Structure 1
Amino acid sequence: VLILLLFTFASADYRAVIARNNAVSGFVFTITTLVEDDTFTIPIYNGGTYNFNVDWGDSSNSDITTWNDGDNPHTYADAGVSTYTITITGTITGFQFNNGGDKNLIQEIQSWGPVIPLGNSMFYGTPNLTVTATDVLDLTGTGSLSSGFRNCSSLTTVPSMDSWNVSAITSIWNIFNGATNFNQDISSWNVGSATNMGGAFYGASSFNQDISGWDTGSATLMDSMFRDAASFDEDLSGWDITGVTNMTSMFLNVTLSTANYSAILIGWEGQVEQPNVTFSGGNSLYSAGAAATARAALVTNGWTITDGGQA
């Protein structure tokens, strides 16, 4: 009994230590300044909540309490190409490059720590971004991940992304649009609240993960969802498309296997789908028999379908 009690207390202490470590861990990332740009501005904005300390990586630090605090941006003394590790501790709720600011300077996220993106476009337009952080990004209060990693052409995988709690996210519009090297397993994502999936993998030419188990029951928009996602070839016949009204250019310039495309036509026609939907199957071919019959039934229901024709 004594041994069991000691083990219980030890386990509790261990959990407490882990909790404390998680609580004080920083948002850690690297930047590389340029000859023509020796300043860096943390992309916070009006509407966020801020009370944090930032270690700028050059033996200086600042306390930031407002989005337009005078200590942000920070100018580095060493002009030229230099790499700095920035560490933020405290409250940083609201973070968004949105294809602007010092988007070209950020390089690597090593720890998510306390950052909460809060809104969309958090890393939109950051071409050099990679992620090695193994902790889980806190999405509390975040309703949209639209354009979250749009045009992040260096991004390949994001450790622990499969553990992100996206259950409250209503839009993943263009989230990985133009992320040409991204190919992370996100099959475990609960996207059941997402209504807008348009352009989610548009131009994500390396992406090919099995997301057939996604809950798409709330989705209404899937236009350009896999447009130019040249590597994608999965069976999505089990997706709930009963609420989807727009599939324009969904698989434009994509060639699904005949088996997968045929399964999609059969699976979707078997639902009470919306009428008069415009759908692109890209260059995909469908087989004779059940798939051809299903396609014809969709057309009868007012669907406009473009694809590669019958195999």
Structure 2
Amino acid sequence: MRYITGTLLAFCLFAILPSITQAASFTTDDFITTWDTTKAGTSASNQITIPGTGSGYSYSIYWESLSSTTATGTIATSTSASQTITFPEPGEYKVAIKGTYPRIYFNNGGDKLKILTVEQWGSNPWTSTDSAFYGCANLTVPATDAPNLSGVTNMRFMFYGTSLNNPVNHWDISNIENMQYLFRGTPFNQPLDNWNTSNVTNLLHTFAFATSFNQPLNMWNTSKVTDMGWTFYNATSFNQPLDNWDTSNVTRMTIMFGSAKYSNHQPTTFNQPLDNWDTSNVTQMNAMFSNNSSFNQTLNAWNVSKVTNLSEMFSHASSFNQALNNWNVASTTNMTDMFLNATLSQSNLDSTLSSWAAQSLKSNVPFHLGLKTYSSTGQTALNTLRDTYNWTITEQYQAEYQEGEDYTISGTAIQSPINDNGTTTAVEVIPNNRCTFINWSDNNTANPRTDTLTDNLTVSAIVECPNPSKSNGTSAATRYKKLLEFGNTAEAEAVKDRYLVTTSSNPDAPTLETVSNNIKLLITNPAINNNLEYRQQLISILQQLVQILRGMTGASS
């Protein structure tokens, strides 16, 4: 009997010994992470909470202190999605999850700042990595193995806001469909050319704000992708060829290669050929290249017949200068700020406007054509857009101030440049009573505006005019005659002209309008008022002003 009992005991010990050993050590099957309990979080300073979501959990935990391998602990089998571990004292710990753990789910909350690394993925089959490490700002992934993603279709937000910059090119993502926000806001800049993206449908924000990323992606299979909105938004380093991408199913390309000018974001620099892209199903291209300082590739072969929104598409795209005369814009309803702070050459703008005006267009479309460069050919096309389709046209005129020079521009009384060491400059735009000042190109709404110059400054005035009234059956086009274009080589004729607008159909032969209540003289830079040259020029200006007033009232000298 004793023999049988002893044999049975030995057998039982032999049977359970592997599980005891496994529970008290790290194995290659474990999901292993490191943590710092002293970081901010929702648990106590000697605790961590591993967050999960959903059901299907069955796992145990083994942990060790990183400062002392004798400080260890275990948690027996748990079926809870989230698990809090209380350690002997605050510090850094290495934690292994053994068994089935379908999802880790920080989702920008909880102890997101306490997790430091993923040391090993192990053999655990993940069911989703949606928002897995979203917001884990201290996280890196030095693990050399790959996660088991065979059951995963959704990787959205997986590393959003982390410190990830580790190799992941060996991962099998062949079943992944959703990659939106995957690397957003990370310093990630590792190769991804081995990734099989044949099932991916969503690239929304995938590399947005990944300001270091600049790796080849031209081999990616994008044939199923429908959304490329914000894919490289504010990815300021990215400039890789993408001409092999299949975009035939894409419907949205919103701000794909751009950034936000008025949020103080750096300009993007992407400048690669895209002329062979199939854009036949795209409906939204708004801000696609907004605030991209480098892009200047031909896009004239694009099929934009389904695009309804082209607003801000080339806003602040300072290098772009291409004709778009082959574009069919018949479906477009919004071109607000389309070319804001962009400049097409006269030939490119003329051909584009003329082609568009010959199409059957939507009515009441707001359209910003950028800095005015067109000729009478373009003017004729604009007349059609205004008169036939009631488009609201916004244009820009450039003002340039040079350091060390002082200008005061007050509509009908324009002061000549004063060459001095002063750096304070005031400028005012006074539209005629049919037009409205909107703002300056740097979003300054002050009018007049005053600048203290420490360097050369270039801004543009944005003035919007409603459709002009017709006279004798002829449409009158309200234009500015090269308003506010000055510099070291200021146009003397422009400086002398007392003008604001022209109501001539020919912008090169303006009709000058002088309105007495618009005559102002702004005296700026009082620090140099005692300068002899300044006083002499001021006297001359006042004398000219008196002559203007006499001419308007019929007085004689």
Q: One fold, TM greater than 0.5?
A: yes
Comparing 89-98 and 216-225, the one that deviates more: 89-98
Asked if the contact 2:34/2:93 (under 8 Å) is kept, the reply is: yes
Residue type matched to 1:173 in 2? Q
Alignment pair present for 1:77 and 2:62: no
Instruction: Give aligned pairs, total.
Output: 270
Distance 1:65 1:191 in 2: 35
Structure 2 unmatched ranges of 5 or more:
1-25, 65-70, 260-266, 323-557
Distance 1:100 1:167, change over 3 A: same
Task: Return the offset for 1:52.
Answer: 1.9
Distance 1:63 1:214, change over 3 A: same
Task: Return the offset for 1:54.
Answer: 0.8
Alpha-carbon deviations, 1:237-288, whole Å to 9, x = none?
Answer: 1100010001111111253454x1xx11x121xx36215331502414324x
Distance 1:225 1:26, change over 3 A: same
Task: Return the offset for 1:216.
Answer: 0.4
Task: Return the offset for 1:104.
Answer: 0.7
Asked if the contact 1:95/1:118 (under 8 Å) is kept, the reply is: no
Task: Return the offset for 1:88.
Answer: 1.9
Q: 2:35 aligns with which of 31, 45, 48?
A: 31
Q: Match of 2:154?
A: 144
Return the index of the structure with the highest Cα Rg.
2
Task: Return the offset for 1:24.
Answer: 4.6
1:14-93 aligned at under 5 Å gives the runs: 24-34=28-38, 37-47=45-55, 49-57=56-64, 58-68=71-81, 72-78=83-89, 80=90, 82-93=91-102
Asked if the contact 2:48/2:85 (under 8 Å) is kept, the reply is: yes
TM-score (norm 1): 0.80
Distance 1:227 1:190 in 2: 23
Distance 1:277 1:219 in 2: 15
Q: Match of 1:164?
A: 171
Distance 1:115 1:104, change over 3 A: farther
Distance 1:257 1:32, change over 3 A: closer
Alignment pair present for 1:121 and 2:131: yes
Q: 1:277 aligns with which of 284, 287, 308?
A: 284
Aligned-CA RMSD value = 2.3
Distance 1:275 1:132, change over 3 A: closer
Q: Match of 1:267?
A: 276
Percent of aligned pairs with the same residue? Answer: 30
Distance 1:171 1:257, change over 3 A: closer
Alignment pair present for 1:231 and 2:237: yes
Asked if the contact 1:24/1:89 (under 8 Å) is kept, the reply is: no
Distance 1:25 1:249, change over 3 A: same
1:281-296 aligned at under 5 Å gives the runs: 281-282=289-290, 283=292, 284-287=294-297, 291=298, 293-294=300-301
3-state SS of paired residue (2:214): coil
Distance 1:90 1:299 in 2: 52
Task: Return the offset for 1:39.
Answer: 1.1
Distance 1:275 1:53, change over 3 A: closer
Task: Return the offset for 1:114.
Answer: 2.9
3-state SS of paired residue (1:74): strand
Task: Return the offset for 1:190.
Answer: 0.9
Q: Match of 1:19?
A: none
Q: Where has structure 1 moved over 6 Å in runs of 4 or more?
A: none
Alpha-carbon deviations, 1:24-59, whole Å to 9, x = none?
Answer: 532111101118522111222223x22222112241
Asked if the contact 1:23/1:114 (under 8 Å) is kept, the reply is: no
3-state SS of paired residue (1:93): coil
Distance 1:24 1:299, change over 3 A: closer
Task: Return the offset for 1:100.
Answer: 1.4
Distance 2:159 2:256 in 1: 19
Q: Match of 1:176?
A: 183
Task: Return the offset for 1:292.
Answer: 5.0
3-state SS of paired residue (1:73): strand
Task: Return the offset for 1:106.
Answer: 0.6
Structure 1 unmatched ranges of 5 or more:
1-21
Residue type matched to 1:210 in 2? P
Distance 2:282 2:52 in 1: 43
Distance 2:30 2:282 in 1: 50
Alpha-carbon deviations, 1:106-157, whole Å to 9, x = none?
Answer: 11111111334422011111010011111111112111000000000x2212
Distance 2:174 2:225 in 1: 13
Comparing 235-244 and 274-283, the one that deviates more: 274-283
Task: Return the offset for 1:67.
Answer: 2.1
Residue type matched to 1:51 in 2? S
Asked if the contact 2:193/2:217 (under 8 Å) is kept, the reply is: yes
Q: Match of 2:194?
A: 188
Distance 2:88 2:213 in 1: 41
Asked if the contact 2:279/2:304 (under 8 Å) is kept, the reply is: no
Residue type matched to 1:75 in 2? T
Task: Return the offset for 1:84.
Answer: 0.7
Task: Return the offset for 1:194.
Answer: 1.1
Asked if the contact 2:296/2:321 (under 8 Å) is kept, the reply is: yes
Distance 1:68 1:117, change over 3 A: closer
Distance 1:252 1:66, change over 3 A: same
Distance 2:149 2:230 in 1: 25
Distance 1:166 1:182 in 2: 18
